[in-house]
Protein backbone atom coordinates (compact mmCIF):
# COMPACT_ATOMS: atom_id res chain seq x y z
CA UNK A 1 0.00 0.00 0.00
CA UNK A 2 1.31 3.47 -0.92
CA UNK A 3 2.13 5.79 1.91
CA UNK A 4 0.35 9.10 2.35
CA UNK A 5 1.85 11.92 0.26
CA UNK A 6 0.59 14.70 -1.99
CA UNK A 7 1.30 12.45 -4.95
CA UNK A 8 -0.77 9.61 -3.49
CA UNK A 9 -3.67 11.95 -2.85
CA UNK A 10 -3.49 13.30 -6.40
CA UNK A 11 -3.50 9.76 -7.79
CA UNK A 12 -6.60 9.09 -5.74
CA UNK A 13 -8.27 12.27 -7.05
CA UNK A 14 -8.62 13.38 -3.47
CA UNK A 15 -11.11 16.26 -3.45
CA UNK A 16 -10.70 17.52 0.11
CA UNK A 17 -8.89 20.71 1.07
CA UNK A 18 -5.08 20.69 0.69
CA UNK A 19 -2.51 23.46 0.88
CA UNK A 20 0.71 22.23 -0.64
CA UNK A 21 2.72 25.44 -0.70
CA UNK A 22 2.58 28.44 1.58
CA UNK A 23 5.06 30.42 3.65
CA UNK A 24 6.07 28.96 7.00
CA UNK A 25 4.48 31.43 9.41
CA UNK A 26 4.26 29.21 12.46
CA UNK A 27 7.03 27.42 14.33
CA UNK A 28 5.74 24.73 16.65
CA UNK A 29 7.69 23.09 19.44
CA UNK A 30 6.01 19.74 19.82
CA UNK A 31 4.83 17.20 17.27
CA UNK A 32 2.64 15.07 19.55
CA UNK A 33 -0.91 13.89 19.07
CA UNK A 34 -2.50 16.70 20.98
CA UNK A 35 -1.02 19.61 19.04
CA UNK A 36 -1.65 17.91 15.73
CA UNK A 37 -5.34 17.31 16.58
CA UNK A 38 -5.85 20.74 18.09
CA UNK A 39 -3.59 23.66 17.09
CA UNK A 40 -2.66 22.29 13.66
CA UNK A 41 -6.26 21.35 12.96
CA UNK A 42 -7.34 24.92 13.74
CA UNK A 43 -4.59 26.34 11.53
CA UNK A 44 -5.63 24.02 8.73
CA UNK A 45 -9.20 25.28 9.00
CA UNK A 46 -7.98 28.90 9.08
CA UNK A 47 -6.03 28.21 5.90
CA UNK A 48 -9.12 26.85 4.23
CA UNK A 49 -11.72 29.29 5.48
CA UNK A 50 -9.91 32.49 6.29
CA UNK A 51 -6.96 32.68 3.90
CA UNK A 52 -4.42 32.29 6.68
CA UNK A 53 -2.13 30.75 4.06
CA UNK A 54 0.42 29.44 6.51
CA UNK A 55 2.52 26.37 6.93
CA UNK A 56 3.67 25.14 10.33
CA UNK A 57 7.26 24.00 10.72
CA UNK A 58 7.51 21.57 13.62
CA UNK A 59 10.45 21.19 15.96
CA UNK A 60 10.74 18.01 17.98
CA UNK A 61 11.44 19.18 21.56
CA UNK A 62 13.24 16.08 22.81
CA UNK A 63 15.75 13.68 21.29
CA UNK A 64 13.28 10.98 20.35
CA UNK A 65 10.20 11.80 18.36
CA UNK A 66 8.29 11.66 15.15
CA UNK A 67 10.32 13.89 12.82
CA UNK A 68 11.33 11.13 10.39
CA UNK A 69 7.83 9.76 10.19
CA UNK A 70 6.36 13.21 9.64
CA UNK A 71 8.84 14.07 6.89
CA UNK A 72 8.29 10.73 5.17
CA UNK A 73 4.63 11.74 4.81
CA UNK A 74 5.45 15.33 3.71
CA UNK A 75 3.83 16.58 6.90
CA UNK A 76 0.46 15.08 5.93
CA UNK A 77 -1.70 13.05 8.28
CA UNK A 78 -5.32 12.07 8.60
CA UNK A 79 -7.28 13.34 11.55
CA UNK A 80 -10.54 11.83 12.73
CA UNK A 81 -12.72 13.89 15.06
CA UNK A 82 -15.51 11.72 16.33
CA UNK A 83 -18.45 11.87 18.65
CA UNK A 84 -21.98 13.28 18.90
CA UNK A 85 -23.04 16.65 17.57
CA UNK A 86 -26.64 17.79 18.04
CA UNK A 87 -27.63 14.25 18.88
CA UNK A 88 -26.09 12.82 15.69
CA UNK A 89 -23.10 10.52 15.49
CA UNK A 90 -20.35 12.37 13.64
CA UNK A 91 -17.07 11.03 12.26
CA UNK A 92 -15.21 13.86 10.56
CA UNK A 93 -12.16 12.93 8.51
CA UNK A 94 -9.70 15.59 7.42
CA UNK A 95 -6.28 15.32 5.83
CA UNK A 96 -4.24 18.00 7.60
CA UNK A 97 -1.89 19.75 5.21
CA UNK A 98 -0.64 22.75 7.17
CA UNK A 99 2.55 21.04 8.37
CA UNK A 100 5.52 21.64 6.07
CA UNK A 101 8.19 19.53 7.81
CA UNK A 102 9.52 18.50 11.19
CA UNK A 103 13.01 19.42 12.36
CA UNK A 104 15.04 17.46 14.84
CA UNK A 105 17.23 19.93 16.75
CA UNK A 106 19.38 17.07 18.02
CA UNK A 107 20.51 16.16 14.51
CA UNK A 108 20.39 19.62 12.86
CA UNK A 109 19.95 22.53 15.22
CA UNK A 110 21.15 25.00 12.61
CA UNK A 111 18.08 24.14 10.50
CA UNK A 112 15.90 25.23 13.42
CA UNK A 113 17.86 28.45 13.92
CA UNK A 114 17.64 29.19 10.20
CA UNK A 115 13.87 29.52 10.56
CA UNK A 116 14.57 32.69 12.54
CA UNK A 117 15.77 34.33 9.31
CA UNK A 118 12.40 33.78 7.65
CA UNK A 119 10.71 37.21 7.70
CA UNK A 120 7.24 35.62 7.34
CA UNK A 121 7.49 33.69 10.59
CA UNK A 122 5.15 35.27 13.15
CA UNK A 123 3.77 32.65 15.54
CA UNK A 124 5.31 30.14 17.90
CA UNK A 125 3.10 27.42 19.35
CA UNK A 126 4.11 24.76 21.82
CA UNK A 127 3.07 21.88 24.00
CA UNK A 128 5.97 20.21 25.69
CA UNK A 129 3.94 18.47 28.45
CA UNK A 130 3.92 19.65 32.06
CA UNK A 131 7.65 18.88 32.22
CA UNK A 132 8.65 21.07 29.28
CA UNK A 133 8.51 24.61 30.64
CA UNK A 134 11.32 24.32 33.13
CA UNK A 135 14.44 26.33 33.81
CA UNK A 136 17.51 24.13 33.84
CA UNK A 137 20.55 26.22 34.80
CA UNK A 138 22.93 23.63 33.36
CA UNK A 139 21.85 24.59 29.82
CA UNK A 140 24.37 26.77 28.03
CA UNK A 141 23.93 29.20 25.15
CA UNK A 142 26.58 27.30 23.18
CA UNK A 143 24.77 23.94 23.52
CA UNK A 144 23.49 22.62 20.21
CA UNK A 145 20.75 22.59 21.27
CA UNK A 146 20.12 23.62 24.87
CA UNK A 147 18.33 20.67 26.34
CA UNK A 148 15.38 22.46 27.92
CA UNK A 149 12.60 23.81 25.75
CA UNK A 150 12.87 27.40 27.11
CA UNK A 151 16.62 27.16 26.49
CA UNK A 152 16.04 26.24 22.83
CA UNK A 153 13.48 29.00 22.49
CA UNK A 154 15.89 31.57 23.92
CA UNK A 155 18.57 30.48 21.45
CA UNK A 156 16.03 30.81 18.66
CA UNK A 157 14.80 34.24 19.80
CA UNK A 158 18.37 35.48 20.02
CA UNK A 159 18.98 34.50 16.39
CA UNK A 160 15.81 36.38 15.47
CA UNK A 161 16.96 39.41 17.43
CA UNK A 162 20.31 39.36 15.65
CA UNK A 163 18.59 39.24 12.28
CA UNK A 164 15.58 41.53 12.81
CA UNK A 165 16.20 43.23 16.17
CA UNK A 166 16.11 46.69 14.62
CA UNK A 167 12.76 46.19 12.86
CA UNK A 168 9.37 46.57 14.48
CA UNK A 169 6.87 43.73 14.27
CA UNK A 170 9.37 40.95 13.78
CA UNK A 171 8.97 39.37 17.20
CA UNK A 172 6.48 36.56 17.80
CA UNK A 173 3.04 35.84 19.14
CA UNK A 174 3.78 32.84 21.33
CA UNK A 175 0.89 30.53 22.16
CA UNK A 176 1.78 28.15 24.93
CA UNK A 177 -0.50 25.13 25.39
CA UNK A 178 1.11 23.27 28.29
CA UNK A 179 -1.27 22.33 31.10
CA UNK A 180 0.56 24.28 33.77
CA UNK A 181 -0.71 27.45 35.42
CA UNK A 182 0.12 30.64 33.50
CA UNK A 183 1.92 28.63 30.83
CA UNK A 184 2.81 31.66 28.67
CA UNK A 185 4.03 33.77 31.54
CA UNK A 186 6.09 30.90 32.97
CA UNK A 187 7.69 30.39 29.58
CA UNK A 188 8.53 34.08 29.34
CA UNK A 189 10.07 33.98 32.84
CA UNK A 190 12.33 31.08 31.86
CA UNK A 191 13.39 32.79 28.63
CA UNK A 192 14.26 36.00 30.48
CA UNK A 193 16.25 33.99 33.03
CA UNK A 194 18.32 32.40 30.26
CA UNK A 195 18.85 35.79 28.63
CA UNK A 196 20.28 37.00 31.95
CA UNK A 197 22.26 33.83 32.72
CA UNK A 198 23.80 33.79 29.25
CA UNK A 199 24.57 37.53 29.30
CA UNK A 200 22.74 38.13 26.04
CA UNK A 201 22.44 41.83 26.79
CA UNK A 202 19.91 44.41 27.88
CA UNK A 203 18.89 45.21 24.30
CA UNK A 204 17.89 41.61 23.73
CA UNK A 205 15.92 41.56 26.99
CA UNK A 206 14.14 44.77 26.02
CA UNK A 207 13.38 43.30 22.57
CA UNK A 208 11.92 40.12 24.11
CA UNK A 209 9.58 42.20 26.23
CA UNK A 210 8.58 44.73 23.60
CA UNK A 211 8.32 42.70 20.42
CA UNK A 212 7.06 39.36 21.70
CA UNK A 213 3.69 38.48 23.21
CA UNK A 214 3.76 35.42 25.43
CA UNK A 215 0.13 34.28 25.67
CA UNK A 216 -1.08 31.92 28.34
CA UNK A 217 -3.75 29.68 26.92
CA UNK A 218 -6.22 27.04 28.03
CA UNK A 219 -6.70 24.04 25.77
CA UNK A 220 -9.52 21.54 25.85
CA UNK A 221 -10.00 18.52 23.62
CA UNK A 222 -9.74 14.84 24.45
CA UNK A 223 -7.20 13.45 22.00
CA UNK A 224 -6.67 9.72 21.83
CA UNK A 225 -3.94 9.71 19.20
CA UNK A 226 -3.02 6.86 16.90
CA UNK A 227 -5.84 4.28 16.87
CA UNK A 228 -3.65 1.21 17.21
CA UNK A 229 -6.51 -1.32 17.07
CA UNK A 230 -8.32 0.23 14.12
CA UNK A 231 -5.36 1.56 12.15
CA UNK A 232 -5.08 -1.29 9.62
CA UNK A 233 -8.77 -1.19 8.79
CA UNK A 234 -8.71 2.61 8.54
CA UNK A 235 -5.71 2.58 6.16
CA UNK A 236 -7.42 -0.07 4.05
CA UNK A 237 -10.41 2.19 3.69
CA UNK A 238 -8.30 5.31 3.06
CA UNK A 239 -6.32 3.49 0.39
CA UNK A 240 -2.99 4.66 1.76
CA UNK A 241 -0.69 3.91 4.66
CA UNK A 242 -0.74 6.67 7.25
CA UNK A 243 1.50 6.06 10.27
CA UNK A 244 0.42 9.32 11.84
CA UNK A 245 -3.36 8.99 11.99
CA UNK A 246 -4.65 11.03 14.88
CA UNK A 247 -8.00 10.80 16.65
CA UNK A 248 -9.91 12.92 19.10
CA UNK A 249 -13.33 14.19 20.07
CA UNK A 250 -15.24 16.83 18.14
CA UNK A 251 -15.43 19.19 21.08
CA UNK A 252 -12.56 21.65 21.18
CA UNK A 253 -12.09 24.97 22.94
CA UNK A 254 -9.02 27.19 23.01
CA UNK A 255 -8.87 30.25 25.22
CA UNK A 256 -6.00 32.59 24.44
CA UNK A 257 -5.11 35.35 26.85
CA UNK A 258 -3.87 38.32 24.88
CA UNK A 259 -4.81 41.53 23.09
CA UNK A 260 -7.74 41.52 20.67
CA UNK A 261 -5.31 42.66 17.98
CA UNK A 262 -4.17 39.02 17.70
CA UNK A 263 -7.33 38.48 15.66
CA UNK A 264 -6.00 40.84 12.97
CA UNK A 265 -3.30 38.28 12.26
CA UNK A 266 -4.87 35.05 13.52
CA UNK A 267 -8.32 34.99 11.87
CA UNK A 268 -10.11 32.74 14.32
CA UNK A 269 -13.51 34.43 14.00
CA UNK A 270 -13.47 34.48 10.24
CA UNK A 271 -12.80 30.74 10.29
CA UNK A 272 -15.60 30.33 12.88
CA UNK A 273 -13.39 28.41 15.24
CA UNK A 274 -14.09 27.71 18.93
CA UNK A 275 -11.23 29.99 19.93
CA UNK A 276 -11.71 32.82 22.38
CA UNK A 277 -9.23 35.65 22.72
CA UNK A 278 -9.67 37.32 26.07
CA UNK A 279 -7.79 39.40 28.64
CA UNK A 280 -8.22 36.69 31.31
CA UNK A 281 -8.13 32.97 30.61
CA UNK A 282 -8.16 31.95 34.24
CA UNK A 283 -11.90 31.43 34.88
CA UNK A 284 -12.06 29.11 31.86
CA UNK A 285 -9.02 27.26 33.01
CA UNK A 286 -10.39 26.84 36.50
CA UNK A 287 -13.71 25.58 35.15
CA UNK A 288 -12.01 23.02 32.92
CA UNK A 289 -9.34 21.82 35.31
CA UNK A 290 -11.60 21.55 38.32
CA UNK A 291 -14.62 20.02 36.59
CA UNK A 292 -13.26 17.90 33.71
CA UNK A 293 -9.79 16.99 34.90
CA UNK A 294 -10.94 17.04 38.54
CA UNK A 295 -13.72 14.56 37.71
CA UNK A 296 -11.25 12.30 35.91
CA UNK A 297 -8.75 12.29 38.74
CA UNK A 298 -11.34 11.76 41.46
CA UNK A 299 -13.25 8.82 39.98
CA UNK A 300 -10.75 7.07 37.67
CA UNK A 301 -8.56 5.38 40.31
CA UNK A 302 -11.54 4.03 42.26
CA UNK A 303 -13.22 2.94 39.03
CA UNK A 304 -10.08 1.13 37.91
CA UNK A 305 -9.87 -0.77 41.20
CA UNK A 306 -13.57 -1.61 40.77
CA UNK A 307 -12.66 -3.45 37.55
CA UNK A 308 -13.28 -0.83 34.84
CA UNK A 309 -10.74 0.01 32.13
CA UNK A 310 -12.09 2.89 30.04
CA UNK A 311 -14.00 6.07 30.80
CA UNK A 312 -17.00 5.37 28.57
CA UNK A 313 -17.88 2.11 30.33
CA UNK A 314 -17.81 3.97 33.65
CA UNK A 315 -20.42 6.38 32.30
CA UNK A 316 -22.74 3.44 31.70
CA UNK A 317 -22.36 2.20 35.27
CA UNK A 318 -24.95 3.93 37.47
CA UNK A 319 -22.82 3.73 40.60
CA UNK A 320 -19.58 5.07 39.10
CA UNK A 321 -21.29 7.69 36.96
CA UNK A 322 -23.48 8.62 39.94
CA UNK A 323 -20.37 9.03 42.07
CA UNK A 324 -18.73 11.20 39.44
CA UNK A 325 -21.80 13.38 39.02
CA UNK A 326 -22.21 13.77 42.77
CA UNK A 327 -18.59 14.85 42.99
CA UNK A 328 -19.04 17.40 40.20
CA UNK A 329 -22.46 18.83 41.05
CA UNK A 330 -22.42 18.69 44.85
CA UNK A 331 -18.76 19.16 45.67
CA UNK A 332 -16.88 20.86 42.82
CA UNK A 333 -19.39 23.30 41.30
CA UNK A 334 -20.28 24.88 44.69
CA UNK A 335 -16.62 25.86 45.05
CA UNK A 336 -16.44 27.82 41.78
CA UNK A 337 -17.31 31.45 41.15
CA UNK A 338 -18.39 31.44 37.51
CA UNK A 339 -22.11 31.88 36.73
CA UNK A 340 -23.95 28.74 37.84
CA UNK A 341 -25.64 28.20 34.47
CA UNK A 342 -22.30 28.16 32.67
CA UNK A 343 -20.87 25.68 35.14
CA UNK A 344 -23.89 23.39 34.83
CA UNK A 345 -23.74 23.52 31.03
CA UNK A 346 -20.04 22.71 31.05
CA UNK A 347 -20.56 19.84 33.51
CA UNK A 348 -23.37 18.30 31.54
CA UNK A 349 -21.28 18.49 28.37
CA UNK A 350 -18.46 16.71 30.21
CA UNK A 351 -20.65 13.69 31.00
CA UNK A 352 -21.66 13.53 27.33
CA UNK A 353 -18.04 13.87 26.21
CA UNK A 354 -17.04 11.02 28.51
CA UNK A 355 -19.73 8.85 26.88
CA UNK A 356 -18.25 9.37 23.41
CA UNK A 357 -18.67 5.98 21.68
CA UNK A 358 -15.51 6.50 19.61
CA UNK A 359 -13.15 7.35 22.43
CA UNK A 360 -11.57 4.55 24.40
CA UNK A 361 -9.95 6.70 27.05
CA UNK A 362 -7.96 4.31 29.23
CA UNK A 363 -8.24 4.84 32.99
CA UNK A 364 -4.60 3.80 33.33
CA UNK A 365 -3.56 6.57 30.91
CA UNK A 366 -5.39 9.12 33.00
CA UNK A 367 -3.85 7.67 36.18
CA UNK A 368 -0.36 8.79 35.08
CA UNK A 369 1.15 11.22 37.65
CA UNK A 370 -1.96 11.17 39.80
CA UNK A 371 -0.18 12.68 42.79
CA UNK A 372 0.48 16.05 41.17
CA UNK A 373 -2.85 15.81 39.37
CA UNK A 374 -4.73 15.29 42.66
CA UNK A 375 -2.94 18.29 44.12
CA UNK A 376 -3.62 20.58 41.14
CA UNK A 377 -7.00 19.33 40.01
CA UNK A 378 -8.85 18.08 43.12
CA UNK A 379 -7.26 19.53 46.23
CA UNK A 380 -8.38 23.12 45.51
CA UNK A 381 -12.01 21.91 45.45
CA UNK A 382 -11.50 20.07 48.75
CA UNK A 383 -10.11 23.15 50.47
CA UNK A 384 -12.63 25.57 49.03
CA UNK A 385 -15.52 23.25 49.95
CA UNK A 386 -14.31 23.08 53.55
CA UNK A 387 -13.95 26.86 53.61
CA UNK A 388 -17.42 27.50 52.25
CA UNK A 389 -19.41 24.67 53.83
CA UNK A 390 -17.48 24.05 57.03
CA UNK A 391 -17.56 20.28 56.42
CA UNK A 392 -15.72 17.66 54.39
CA UNK A 393 -16.89 16.84 50.84
CA UNK A 394 -17.56 13.10 51.13
CA UNK A 395 -16.84 12.04 47.54
CA UNK A 396 -13.66 14.09 47.23
CA UNK A 397 -12.46 12.73 50.57
CA UNK A 398 -13.21 9.19 49.40
CA UNK A 399 -11.34 9.92 46.17
CA UNK A 400 -8.23 10.54 48.23
CA UNK A 401 -8.65 7.08 49.75
CA UNK A 402 -9.06 5.65 46.21
CA UNK A 403 -5.82 7.39 45.27
CA UNK A 404 -3.98 5.81 48.22
CA UNK A 405 -5.46 2.38 47.54
CA UNK A 406 -4.44 2.62 43.86
CA UNK A 407 -0.86 3.57 44.80
CA UNK A 408 -0.50 0.82 47.41
CA UNK A 409 1.83 -1.26 45.23
CA UNK A 410 4.40 -3.85 46.14
CA UNK A 411 7.28 -4.00 43.62
CA UNK A 412 9.22 -1.24 41.93
CA UNK A 413 10.34 -1.93 38.35
CA UNK A 414 11.74 0.24 35.54
CA UNK A 415 8.18 0.79 34.36
CA UNK A 416 6.73 1.86 37.67
CA UNK A 417 5.24 0.47 40.85
CA UNK A 418 3.48 -2.84 40.40
CA UNK A 419 0.21 -3.17 42.30
CA UNK A 420 -2.64 -5.67 42.13
CA UNK A 421 -6.25 -5.40 41.11
CA UNK A 422 -8.32 -8.45 41.97
CA UNK A 423 -5.25 -10.66 41.66
CA UNK A 424 -3.94 -9.10 38.41
CA UNK A 425 -0.97 -6.77 38.24
CA UNK A 426 -1.09 -3.20 36.94
CA UNK A 427 1.61 -0.53 36.95
CA UNK A 428 1.36 2.76 38.80
CA UNK A 429 3.25 5.54 37.00
CA UNK A 430 4.36 8.68 38.76
CA UNK A 431 7.56 10.49 39.74
CA UNK A 432 10.26 8.22 41.13
CA UNK A 433 10.16 9.80 44.58
CA UNK A 434 6.40 9.20 44.78
CA UNK A 435 6.74 5.54 43.83
CA UNK A 436 9.61 5.03 46.25
CA UNK A 437 7.51 6.54 49.02
CA UNK A 438 4.64 4.15 48.37
CA UNK A 439 7.02 1.20 48.14
CA UNK A 440 8.49 2.09 51.54
CA UNK A 441 4.96 2.16 53.01
CA UNK A 442 3.64 -0.93 51.25
CA UNK A 443 3.00 -2.92 54.42
CA UNK A 444 1.70 -0.07 56.59
CA UNK A 445 -1.53 -0.32 58.52
CA UNK A 446 -4.36 1.86 57.22
CA UNK A 447 -3.68 4.44 59.94
CA UNK A 448 0.08 4.60 59.35
CA UNK A 449 -0.28 4.78 55.58
CA UNK A 450 -2.92 7.52 55.61
CA UNK A 451 -0.92 9.49 58.15
CA UNK A 452 2.28 9.21 56.10
CA UNK A 453 0.52 10.28 52.90
CA UNK A 454 -1.38 13.17 54.48
CA UNK A 455 1.74 14.54 56.17
CA UNK A 456 3.89 14.32 53.05
CA UNK A 457 4.25 18.02 52.40
CA UNK A 458 6.41 17.34 49.34
CA UNK A 459 3.32 15.92 47.67
CA UNK A 460 0.72 18.46 48.76
CA UNK A 461 2.69 21.58 49.65
CA UNK A 462 1.06 21.38 53.09
CA UNK A 463 0.11 18.93 55.81
CA UNK A 464 -3.36 17.56 55.09
CA UNK A 465 -3.83 16.36 58.66
CA UNK A 466 -4.39 20.04 59.47
CA UNK A 467 -7.77 19.77 57.69
CA UNK A 468 -10.13 18.93 60.51
CA UNK A 469 -11.42 15.36 60.37
CA UNK A 470 -9.80 14.64 56.99
CA UNK A 471 -7.26 12.05 58.12
CA UNK A 472 -9.84 10.10 60.15
CA UNK A 473 -12.35 10.17 57.30
CA UNK A 474 -9.75 8.93 54.80
CA UNK A 475 -8.82 6.10 57.23
CA UNK A 476 -12.45 5.15 57.41
CA UNK A 477 -12.80 5.04 53.61
CA UNK A 478 -9.55 3.12 53.13
CA UNK A 479 -10.66 0.56 55.70
CA UNK A 480 -13.94 0.15 53.84
CA UNK A 481 -12.07 -0.16 50.53
CA UNK A 482 -9.93 -2.96 51.97
CA UNK A 483 -12.99 -4.73 53.35
CA UNK A 484 -15.46 -4.41 50.50
CA UNK A 485 -13.82 -2.56 47.60
CA UNK A 486 -14.08 0.86 45.98
CA UNK A 487 -17.36 0.10 44.21
CA UNK A 488 -19.23 -0.45 47.47
CA UNK A 489 -17.72 2.74 48.87
CA UNK A 490 -18.95 4.70 45.86
CA UNK A 491 -22.38 3.10 46.22
CA UNK A 492 -22.56 4.03 49.89
CA UNK A 493 -21.99 7.68 48.99
CA UNK A 494 -24.89 8.04 46.52
Ligand X SMILES: NC(=O)c1ccc[n+]([C@@H]2O[C@H](COP(=O)([O-])OP(=O)(O)OC[C@H]3O[C@@H](n4cnc5c(N)ncnc54)[C@H](O)[C@@H]3O)[C@@H](O)[C@H]2O)c1
Ligand Y SMILES: O=P(O)(O)OC[C@@H](O)[C@@H](O)[C@H](O)[C@H](O)CO
Write out the residues near ligand Y by the rule CB under 6 A.
179, 220-222, 292-293, 296, 366, 368
Per CB under 6 A, the segment of 46-54, 219-227, 252-260, 351-359 that binds ligand X is: 219-227
Per CB under 6 A, the segment of 192-200, 221-229, 272-280, 476-484 that binds ligand X is: 221-229
Q: Where are the alpha helices (DSSP H) in 212-339?
A: 231-238, 262-265, 282-287, 294-305, 311-315, 318-326
Q: Where are the alpha helices (DSSP H) in 12-139?
A: 33-37, 39-50, 67-72, 109-114, 129-132
Query: Does residue number 65 form part of the binding site for ligand X (CB under 6 A)?
Result: yes
Q: Which is nearer to ligand Y, 152 or 221 (CB)?
A: 221
Q: Which is nearer to ligand X, 161 or 194 (CB)?
A: 194
Q: Are 30 and 72 contacting, i.e. CB atoms less than 8 angstroms apart?
A: no
**Residue 78: closest CA among 110, 103, 41:** 41
Query: Does residue number 171 form part of the binding site for ligand X (CB under 6 A)?
Result: no
Residue 223 CB, nearest distance to ligand Y (Å)?
Answer: 7
Q: How many chain residues bind ligand X (CB under 6 A)?
A: 22
Whole-number Å distance between alpha carbons of 478 and 486: 9
- Give Cβ neighbours of residue 98 (< 8 Å, ≥ 6 apart): 19, 26, 40, 43, 44, 47, 54, 55, 56, 75
Residue 203 CB, nearest distance to ligand X (Å)?
Answer: 29
Query: Does residue number 40 form part of the binding site for ligand X (CB under 6 A)?
Result: no
List the single partner that 128 binds among ligand Y, ligand X, none, CB under 5 to 8 Å by kind: ligand X
List the single partner that 8 binds among ligand Y, ligand X, none, CB under 5 to 8 Å by kind: none
CB atoms within 10 A of CB 23: 14
Choose, by CB under 6 A, the member of 131, 206, 344, 472 that binds ligand X: 131
Query: Does residue number 33 form part of the binding site for ligand X (CB under 6 A)?
Result: yes
Put residue 51 in one of left, alpha, beta given phi > 0 → left and psi -120 to 50 → alpha. Answer: left
Per CB under 6 A, the segment of 73-81, 111-119, 122-130, 305-313 that binds ligand X is: 122-130
**Residue 35: closest CA among 184, 228, 246, 230:** 246
Choose, by CB under 6 A, the member of 9, 25, 45, 61 that binds ligand X: 61
Query: Does residue number 57 form part of the binding site for ligand X (CB under 6 A)?
Result: no
Whole-number Å distance between alpha carbons of 15 and 23: 23
Per CB under 6 A, the segment of 73-81, 123-131, 252-260, 351-359 that binds ligand X is: 123-131
Q: Which is nearer to ligand X, 338 or 362 (CB)?
A: 362
List the single partner that 180 binds among ligand Y, ligand X, none, CB under 5 to 8 Å by kind: none
- Give, as ranges, the residues between 13 and 32 that touch ligand X (CB under 6 A): 30-32
Residue 177 CB, nearest distance to ligand X (Å)?
Answer: 7
Choose, by CB under 6 A, the member of 22, 50, 62, 364 that binds ligand X: 62
Rounded to a whole number of angstroms, the CA Rg of the chain reads 24
Query: Does residue number 128 form part of the binding site for ligand X (CB under 6 A)?
Result: yes
Report the length, in residues, of the chain: 494
Q: Which is nearer to ligand Y, 359 or 450 (CB)?
A: 359
Residue nearest to ligand X (CB): 32
Q: Across-strand partners of 421?
A: 424
List the single partner that 32 binds among ligand Y, ligand X, none, CB under 5 to 8 Å by kind: ligand X
Query: Does residue number 145 form part of the binding site for ligand X (CB under 6 A)?
Result: no
DSSP state of 375: I
Please, is 88 exposed, middle or buried when counting C-beta atoms within 10 Å of its C-beta (0-12, 13-18, 19+)? Answer: exposed
Whole-number Å distance between alpha carbons of 317 and 207: 56
Residue 80 CB, nearest distance to ligand Y (Å)?
Answer: 17
Beta strands in 19-117 (DSSP E): 24-29, 55-59, 77-85, 88-96, 99-103
Binding region for ligand X (CB under 6 A): 30-34, 60-62, 65, 127-132, 149, 179, 219, 221-223, 225
Amino acid sequence: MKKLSYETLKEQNYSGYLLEDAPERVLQFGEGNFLRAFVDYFIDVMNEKAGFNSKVVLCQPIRSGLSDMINEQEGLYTLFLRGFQDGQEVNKKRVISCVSRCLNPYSDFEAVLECASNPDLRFITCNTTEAGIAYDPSCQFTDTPANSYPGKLTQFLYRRFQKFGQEEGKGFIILSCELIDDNGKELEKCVLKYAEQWNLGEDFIAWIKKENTFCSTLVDRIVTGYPRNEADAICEELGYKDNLIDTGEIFGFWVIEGPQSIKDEFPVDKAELPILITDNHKPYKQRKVRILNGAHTSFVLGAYLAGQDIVRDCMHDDVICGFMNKTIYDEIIPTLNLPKEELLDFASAVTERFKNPFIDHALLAISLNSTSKWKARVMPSLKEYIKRQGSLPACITASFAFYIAFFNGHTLTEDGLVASRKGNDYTVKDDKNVLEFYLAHKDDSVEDLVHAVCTNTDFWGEDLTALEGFEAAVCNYLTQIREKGTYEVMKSLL
